[in-house]
Structure 1
Amino acid sequence: MPEESRRDALLAACTDHVLAEGLIGLSLRPLAAAVGTSDRMLIYHFGSRDGLVAAVVDESTNRSVAYLNALQAPTSVRTGVLRLWQAYREPPLHACNLIYVQAAVSGYLGQEPYRSAVRSSNDRWAAAMRDWFQRCGAPRAKVARITQLVESSLLGFHVDLATDSPAELSRAVKDLADAAEGLAG
């Protein structure tokens, strides 16, 4: 198998494992065993544990963006917010968001490569959300404001799922959807 193909296959397997098990406490030897390789091969392909983590966060973001791009956009910003919240709770986005939050916490503490990986993830996710809201009919001049409001709020609600049920957050999400629709004019 060519080196690039082997690296891609390892990255996919490592990302699957991290999405299932989490990023916090990730150790190379157990990860390598879980994906059928050695820790030395992971270092060879990714340079270091940090290089692997950055690649996993990047791949997780790629999967999130692809998932969002594949969703059928509704015809209003309000319904778009509600559909996004539903998507945030579906397994693909839920798992990717958990990895993002775990990386973001480490980045918040100033640790690299988390800080840079999260910054890159933010940029790509925000671009995908701006496209989403344009597909939902938001005026181009207001898409950036709507995206910033909704992205920050939904991520906060997603974190709140650790302590609150989706039903408890439902009213706040509906209020957010109304506010975003109001911004859209």
Structure 2
Amino acid sequence: MGRHKQPQIRERILDACVDHALAHGLPTRLEPLAAASGTSTRMLIYHFRTRDALLREILVRARHRQRQFFGELISPRPDEPYLDTLRRAWQGMTGPEGRPYLSMFGRLREGHEQQLWPGFRREATTDWLQPMEDGMRSIGRPELGTLALAVVRGLMIDLEATGDTTRVDQAFDHFLAALEPPH
């Protein structure tokens, strides 16, 4: 008779693997994940069946964390003008807490990692559209939700590719200034 799976152990292992992947990227082998989670590669396979299945679950869990974190940042606040919310959100998304997500999910547009989550690019675009439209609605411009999302995503890709924080932050500030209503 085989062992009974213990979901709490699996969850602890998965969280440790996600933490590791956010800090270091998705590894090509299981050994770094086993070390980070305090277990063996054999136990990783026991709990997750295959390396790709584990990597997919890491991506799904990391995406859930990112959606929570970024979602809170870009949601309109009744006591704050939305352009101020976007400015603060940009700092959070591109700062130390947000950058690991940008790195991890930026790689999903490339090669093998894209195969781990084939519909990711579409999902990653559409899931932010409603909160962005809601924010733009708060300044009377819901039709700019797609534009705002495209600018944010494009600048994030630029930042991830170049690391030129100063230039990209300035571009974001110019974008926000263009959204300011005329005085």
TM-score range, shorter chain: 0.7 to 0.9
Cα distance, 1:173 vs structure 2? 0.6
Pairing partner for 1:58 from 57, 60, 67: 60
Cα distance, 1:66 vs structure 2? 1.6
TM superposition score normalised by structure 1:
0.75
**1:1-185 maps to which residues of 2 (within 5 A)?**
3-23=6-26, 25-71=27-73, 73-74=76-77, 75-106=80-111, 111-124=114-127, 126=128, 130-131=130-131, 134=134, 136=135, 138=137, 143=142, 145-161=143-159, 162-180=161-179
Q: Secondary structure at the match of 2:137?
A: coil
What is the percentage of aligned positions where both structures have the same residue? 26
Cα distance, 1:155 vs structure 2? 2.6
Provide the C-alpha distance between the structure 1 equivalents of 2:180 and 2:9, rounded to a whole number of angstroms.
Answer: 46
Cα distance, 1:142 vs structure 2? 5.5
The more displaced of 89-98 and 155-164 is: 155-164
Contact 2:20 2:33 in 1 (8 A): yes
Cα distance, 1:139 vs structure 2? 5.2
Q: Number of paired residues?
A: 174
Identify if the C-alpha distance between structure 1 residues 35 and 5 changes in structure 2 by more than 3 Å, giving closer, same or farther: same
Unmatched segments (≥5 aa) in structure 1: none
Identify if the C-alpha distance between structure 1 residues 50 and 173 changes in structure 2 by more than 3 Å, giving closer, same or farther: same
Unmatched segments (≥5 aa) in structure 2: none
Contact 2:82 2:139 in 1 (8 A): no
Determine which structure has the larger helix proportion and give its number: 1
CA RMSD of aligned residues (A): 3.1
- Relative contact order (C-alpha < 8 Å, sep 6+): which is higher? 1
Cα distance, 1:120 vs structure 2? 4.1
Paired residue type of 1:153: V
Provide the C-alpha distance between the structure 1 equivalents of 2:172 and 2:69, rounded to a whole number of angstroms.
Answer: 21
TM superposition score normalised by structure 2:
0.76
- Measured against aligned partners, the alpha-carbon deviations of 1:121-172 in whole angstroms (never above 9, x if no partner) come to 4444x15xx33652x46259964x5343233322322232242532212331
Paired residue type of 2:144: I
Contact 1:46 1:52 in 2 (8 A): yes
Provide the C-alpha distance between the structure 1 equivalents of 2:170 and 2:99, rounded to a whole number of angstroms.
Answer: 20
Following TM superposition, the consecutive aligned residue runs of length 4 or more in structure 1 with deviations greater than 6 angstroms are: none
Identify if the C-alpha distance between structure 1 residues 179 and 6 changes in structure 2 by more than 3 Å, giving closer, same or farther: farther
- Measured against aligned partners, the alpha-carbon deviations of 1:42-66 in whole angstroms (never above 9, x if no partner) come to 2222222211121111111111122
Identify if the C-alpha distance between structure 1 residues 151 and 16 changes in structure 2 by more than 3 Å, giving closer, same or farther: same
